[in-house]
Structure formats: C-alpha cells, structure tokens
Structure 1
Amino acid sequence: MANLQEQIQAITQACQDKKASDIDVLPVGKMTSLTEYFVLASGNSTAQVDAIADAVIEKMEDLGIEPSHRQGQREARWIVLDFGDVIVHIFHREERDYYGLERLWKKDREEDHEED
C-alpha cells in the first residue's frame, strides 16, 4: 500500500490533471482523530468538480485504495472522498468561498500553537 506522501502526491496530481485550482494540503492530524490530512481543491463548474473527483478516485484505485465513503457526487457542488488518512474535499468555487474550511482549520492551528 502507498504511504501517505504517495497518496497525497497522487491526489494532488489528479487534481492538477483536471485543472483544479487552489489545491491545498492541510495537516489536521494533531487537531482531529478523524484523519491526518485534508486535501482541498476547486473547480469552476459542476462538470469539472465531478471530473476532478473521478480522477482522484481513479488515481487512488491505481494505488489499491478505494474511498470508504463518498458524498456529494450527485450535486457535484462539494464532493467529499474519504480515503482514511486523507479526506479530499472538491468544491465548486462558490461553495469553497462560502464554507471557508481553510479559515476554520487555520484558526484551529493558530489556537493549538498558542497553547504550546
């Protein structure tokens, strides 16, 4: 099985191949037991968001890893793919701006550092 860095590399490459924008890898393992990393990416249309998700799933299946859970593919506005140690969030740009996951997790990281 591929290690975490290989998984992240495959995911980000799949996003780049489908022209995703604002690809961001957030290490969240110290803040949650849910996962080690979030990978966030944006698409400009529902068709692009769906294509990015399909490409990520295909790249991960090439590594022998299938998502344990996927949500949002019907609407293709915010698709979540759960690969265990890596959860991928693929947003339509408007949803990403609205929900602001980076701001939420950045705030949590700053609070963690203040406690150190």
Structure 2
Amino acid sequence: MTVEQMVKVAYDAIDDKLGQDISIINIGQVSSLCDYFIIATASSSRQVKAIADSVQDAFTEQGIEPRAKEGYDTQTWILLDYGDIIVHVFDEENREFYNLEKLWKDAPYVDIDTLN
C-alpha cells in the first residue's frame, strides 16, 4: 500500500465517523518525522474515540497496525502513528489549543482529491 493510499484509508475512516475539519498536511516537505499528518476534529470525547477506532479498524483490515497510539485514556487528543502517516483526532478545545496547523505552517496542505 502506498503512502497516498494510506492517507485515503485514514481520511475515509475519519469521514465515515463524521470527523470535522479534516486536514492533510504534507510535513514530509519540511520534516523527516513522517510524510503526512492527518488532523480531524470530533465534537465529543466519545466521537474522538469512535473516529480513532474507525481508523484503526480500517488499517487492521489492510494488515497494518499502528507503531504507537496515545491519548486513549483522556480521549481529548488521540494520536495514531503509522510510520509514514500520523493521525491526530482532537476534540474541539484541544485542536484549537494545540493548533498543529500553525505549528506546521510551512508544510503544504493536500486536497484528498489530488492524491494518486
């Protein structure tokens, strides 16, 4: 599976659970941390968990497990590290507070429809 296909799998899993404000940032252009951040907002801690579970389930179906996962205890910001992509699912308050888009402002945004 290509990195771009992984991004689409994550995006679709987030969208399926009604994740809001989904951003795809190509941080590979400015950092060696990974290729893409996928950032989404959920309206409640319950939805944060549901979205993260949906992403994990979609990747598990493809035989891919996360290298690391953080935040399941608080369910305000769950991070799923798949190596080439890192998925961040925030509640509204924490997304605004941490503002990853501002932190990675030099990295270009990617439109899901333009990925191969």
TM, length-normalised to structure 2: 0.89
Residue equivalent to 1:7: 6
Identity level (%): 40
- How far apart are residue 109 of structure 1 and its match? 3.6
TM, length-normalised to structure 1: 0.89
Aligned residue type for 2:83? G
Residue equivalent to 1:72: 71
Residue equivalent to 1:20: 19
1:24-66 deviation line (CA, Å, top 9, x unaligned): 1000012111100000001000000000000000001111110
Runs of 4 or more above 2 Å deviation: none
**Structure of higher CA gyration radius:** 1
Residue equivalent to 2:35: 36
5+ long unaligned stretches in structure 1? 111-116
1:51-90 deviation line (CA, Å, top 9, x unaligned): 0000000001111110000000111000000000000000
1:53 aligned counterpart, secondary structure? helix
Q: Aligned pairs, how many?
A: 108
